[in-house]
Amino acid sequence: MENQDKKRLLIIDAALKRFAHYGLAKTTMTEIAKDISFSKALLYYYFPDKLSLYVSVIENMMHTLSRDLIKSVDKTSTATEGILILLQKRQAFIQKYYKLIEFTQMIGPELPEALYEKFTRARAFELKIITELLSKGNQSGELAVQDIPFTTEIFVEAVSGIHFNILKRAKHLFPGKEEFKLIFLKEKRFAEIFLAGLKPVNRS
Dist. CA 12–CA 18, nearest whole Å: 10
How many other CB atoms are there within 10 angstroms of residue 195's CB atom?
Answer: 21
Cβ(14)–Cβ(36) below 8 Å: yes
Q: Which residues of 121-141 are buried (b: 16+ CB within 10 A; e: fewer)?
A: ebeeebeebbbbbbebbbeee
Would you place residue 34 in the very low, low, confident or very high pLDDT band (cuts 50, 70, 90)?
Answer: very high
Whether residue 2 is predicted with pLDDT greater than 50 in this model: the reply is yes
Rounded CA separation 191/176 (Å): 23
Average pLDDT, stretch 19-31?
87
- pLDDT of residue 109 exceeding 70, the answer is no
pLDDT of residue 181 exceeding 90: no
Question: Given pLDDT bands bounded at 50, 70 and 90, which one contains residue 98?
Answer: confident
Range of weakest confidence among 46-55, 138-147, 149-158: 46-55
pLDDT (average), residues 137-156? 95
| 23 dihedral zone (left: phi>0; alpha: psi -120 to 50; beta) | left
Alpha-carbon distance of 17 to 66, in angstroms, equals 19
Q: For the whole model, what pTM was predicted?
A: 0.83
- What is the pLDDT at residue 174? 62
Rg (CA), the chain: 20
Q: Which has more pLDDT, 8 or 101?
A: 8
Please check the confidence at residue 108 and state whether its pLDDT lies above 70: no
Percent of the chain with pLDDT over 90: 53
Indicate the pLDDT class of residue 204, thresholds 50, 70 and 90. very low
- E strands within 27-171? none
Mean pLDDT, all residues of the chain = 86
